[in-house]
Amino acid sequence: MSEVNVPKLNRKARGEETREKTTQRKPWTPPSRLDAPPAPPGFKHRWIRSEAAGIEDRINVSGKIREGYELVRSDEYPDFPIPTVEDGRYAGIISVGGMLLARIPEETVEERNSYYQRRASDQTQAADNDLSKSNSHSTMKIQDPNRQSKVTFGGSKS
């Protein structure tokens, strides 16, 4: 029996042969000065002010640490190229332009948010109570205080 040479079939899609495989170019955007490495699960990263106009702000940093923030060290993220403080009190801490990178547990963030939300609600209720006390004149009743504002520009030109 003689062998028959059967040509191999090209099983590639036609589009793969004629088009070059290219990735879509990412459009240019201005770089962010405050890029940060991803926070570990259960934490949030925040930038906190350590200086303003060249003056060190120890009160802000110590207040944030008392709130539950902890400063993030650059050796925790060896693959993430980011500026760090070289010497002094914050040596080894990730820092950009007078800001230090800190992390806080998400649970603490939620507790803090609910505290300030309750506090704002209490202040609003106190203002409403004060308004209703001074609202004793019968012709000047305010039943439901409107908490919305509307801004318009210009007026009609006639």
pLDDT tens digits, 22-78: 668 888 888 777 888 888 899 999 999 988 888 888 899 999 999 999 999 888 888
Quote the pLDDT of residue 157.
63
* Distance between CA atoms of residues 145 and 74, nearest Å: 51
CB neighbour list of residue 92: distance below 8 Å, 6 or more residues apart = 73, 74, 75, 84, 85
Whether the predicted model's global pTM rises above the 0.85 cut: no
Q: Where are the domains of the chain?
A: 43-108
